[in-house]
Structure 1
Amino acid sequence: MSSAKPEFTEPTLSAGTAALPPLRVAYEDAALDAILGSGDVLAVFGFGTQAPATNADPRYLRVNLEPAGGTAPFEVWRARARVHARRESGIAWASDGDYAFGAIEVAESVHGSVERATEFAYRRLVETIAASDTPHTLRIWNYLDAINLGEGDDERYRRFCLGRAAGLEAHGFADAYPAATGIGVRDGRRVLQIYWLAARSAGTALENPRQVSAWRYPRQYGIKAPTFARAMRAPTQNPQVYVSGTAAIVGHASHHRDDLRAQVAETLANIDSVLAAARIAPAARFGAGAALKVYVRRAGDVEPMRALLREKLPMRTRTLFLQGDICRSELLVEIDGVQDV
């Protein structure tokens, strides 16, 4: 495949698209029941074994990634209108009419492989979103066990990519993908966790001038290239950008093997580049308008990572550190998040 630079779409609202109020994303230390007591809460995420395992409220999901440092605050999504939630046919769903949160968990053992479990999950995902009043997918998070296990095309991440592509392309997503993250958990359960954000109006997918679009990766990265956009500009009047999981990849190649400092610098340069593509002014990037999740592969890198980000990011940047495996075994860190202006 060609490694030419991707084509870009203007990061502005399409004609006739109704601008939505921005979703508010925060990291909160309050009690879970107190957070869920607010009618404007669209979704709440706990992380690791210290977070509540379950809650009767469909808006809560525990993500099977351990926080770096023992415990983590809840990640909270707040909408502008009253949220209604339900759980139906294995899917948790909540919506305020402008935005919708959805989540599905699929045991690989039921389907025989991570590939088939992923295809099943994505078919359910797109069917559910298409049948709703919020039919536009903005962002998807994927968490799967042992992401780097297996050699060559049998690596579990590559099999996941095959299943994801089959589930998306069956419903017309080819070459028009949402932003996404794919991270490896270490719980041994072999349960695929997928959750997403959809909206009443369409966002604008964005690519990074420093990188080949993931869905154009050459064959060396698997039978089917990863199917996601580098970021999604939400359909808001003022820019709100959902940044996909981003690592030290330039073009399509990983850079700076075993060099944490250099990988962090390259990762931040990539995020800066995609925010520039979204026409976010340099002074507005990162800082108080950003909420970042930092996925760190090696436990010994957690404190050096904290120090590096204190050095490189504005003091008011909100960060949440999680331990997890990155989609390529040579990559030590990945960062995703949301940027408001």
Structure 2
Amino acid sequence: MRQFSSQPDPIAPLDIGLNAAAAPLAPGTLARLDFGGVPSHGAAAHSNTGALRLRLPLVPLMDAAMHEIWHVQAAVSNGQCDAIHWARGGGWLVAALELDESAHGGIEAATARAYAALRAFQALQPERHVLRVWNYLADINAGAGDGERYKLFCAGRSRGLGNGFVGAYPAATAIGHRDPMRGLIVYWLACAQPGMRVENPRQLSAWRYPRQYGPAAPGFARGMRLPAGTLAISGTASIVGHASLHIGDFDAQLQESLANIEALLAAADMPAGFDAHAPLKVYLRRAQDLPALRAALARRLPPTTPLQIMLGDVCRAELLVEIDGWRMP
């Protein structure tokens, strides 16, 4: 891989939105995320416009599946470094890798390998600041005690990173998929300039969780203000302090999750509430909760709020819903 100059390009505006139509990718498209299955050649591919194309194994529950589009006001190029596919433009970088955990000794070892690769790759990039990470893995709640797969994932992430994110944790999401291929998919957004970590006053910082949540605390921030001002919202569920609330009550968990996001917006000094400038992704553990979700969101969100709703397992078995997304200035 070639070395880059230490002088980064100016940061171009980054726009993130949801689109129900699978239109051709416009110039300046950095990435397009499609949900609903992984083709035989893997999760990541490149388009002829330079964009990174990601197909992610979470089943959409909307009437029309939404495509998440990341666009920069700059030329975009792409490439591949070992298992990592990437695209860059305007001071931004999106990258992704997929590993077959069975080929790497299980979920902990596969995660350690993935994050060691991420760390080594990012050390060579002008966009060296990792601001947002997404993780999708199979059977996230399987296992007991320290052998639960999410806890093993957290241990592998910590081992792979070493001290790579200490003091600069990115925003993140970890969701369980149900694809039988059991692939671990990690993708991330990085920038030539640092962001600003935001923590939620209603929640204990995840990296400070007590030992009961596993030998390695989850290494992520509740939110991240990007250099352009957008807030990246980490996966947010019905957790106050570090405890899960409203066990078995879907509607109460949803309301608590939205209250946590509203508290995060206030902590980040972002506009309150949700609207056309706040694309949200909702992960549902049970498809049967979709009617209740639609009814509750219709009461809480204006119809202009861009939504993607998917079937996905939350990192704690007792939690039924998780939300992440973006808040534009």
TM-score scaled by length of structure 2: 0.92
Aligned to 1:13: none
Cα contact 1:50–1:71 (8 A) shared by 2 = no
Shift of the 326–167 alpha-carbon distance from structure 1 to 2, 3 Å rule, reads: same
- Which segments of 5 or more consecutive residues in structure 1 lack a partner in the other structure? 1-16
Match of 1:218 among 185, 210, 213: 210
Aligned to 2:300: 312
Match of 2:29 among 22, 26, 41: 41
Shift of the 50–192 alpha-carbon distance from structure 1 to 2, 3 Å rule, reads: closer
Aligned to 1:130: 123
Match of 2:171 among 179, 184, 195: 179
Q: Deviations over 1:181-214 (max 9, x none)?
A: 0000001212100000000100011100000000
The one-letter code matched in structure 1 to 2:281 is: K
**Structure 2 matches for 1:78-157, cutoff 5 A?**
78-157=71-150
The one-letter code matched in structure 1 to 2:61 is: A
Cα contact 1:136–1:199 (8 A) shared by 2 = yes
Helix, strand or coil at the partner of 1:289: coil
**Structure 2 matches for 1:259-274, cutoff 5 A?**
259-274=249-264
Q: Deviations over 1:220-239 (max 9, x none)?
A: 11111100000000012xx3
Looking at structure 2, the residues matched to 143 and 136 of structure 1 have their Cα atoms a distance apart, in angstroms, of: 21
Shift of the 31–318 alpha-carbon distance from structure 1 to 2, 3 Å rule, reads: closer
Helix, strand or coil at the partner of 1:224: coil
Helix, strand or coil at the partner of 2:200: coil
**Structure 2 matches for 1:172-211, cutoff 5 A?**
172-211=164-203
Looking at structure 1, the residues matched to 289 and 198 of structure 2 have their Cα atoms a distance apart, in angstroms, of: 30
Shift of the 115–28 alpha-carbon distance from structure 1 to 2, 3 Å rule, reads: same
- Which segments of 5 or more consecutive residues in structure 2 lack a partner in the other structure? 1-7
Q: Give the C-alpha shift of residue 90 in structure 1.
A: 1.3
Q: Deviations over 1:57-81 (max 9, x none)?
A: 3610100101014651211110110
Q: Give the C-alpha shift of residue 53 in structure 1.
A: 7.2
Looking at structure 1, the residues matched to 96 and 298 of structure 2 have their Cα atoms a distance apart, in angstroms, of: 33
Q: Give the C-alpha shift of residue 314 in structure 1.
A: 2.2
Cα contact 2:38–2:56 (8 A) shared by 1 = no
Q: Give the C-alpha shift of residue 52 in structure 1.
A: 9.8
Aligned to 2:235: 245
Cα contact 1:177–1:228 (8 A) shared by 2 = yes
Looking at structure 2, the residues matched to 251 and 205 of structure 1 have their Cα atoms a distance apart, in angstroms, of: 18
TM-score scaled by length of structure 1: 0.89
Cα contact 2:62–2:308 (8 A) shared by 1 = no
Looking at structure 1, the residues matched to 258 and 72 of structure 2 have their Cα atoms a distance apart, in angstroms, of: 28
Shift of the 92–230 alpha-carbon distance from structure 1 to 2, 3 Å rule, reads: same
Aligned to 1:278: 268
Aligned to 1:324: 312
Cα contact 2:143–2:149 (8 A) shared by 1 = yes
Aligned to 1:29: 20
Helix, strand or coil at the partner of 1:290: coil
Worse-superposed segment, 47-56 or 116-125: 47-56
Identity %: 47
Aligned to 1:295: 283
Worse-superposed segment, 68-77 or 294-303: 68-77
Cα contact 2:12–2:74 (8 A) shared by 1 = no
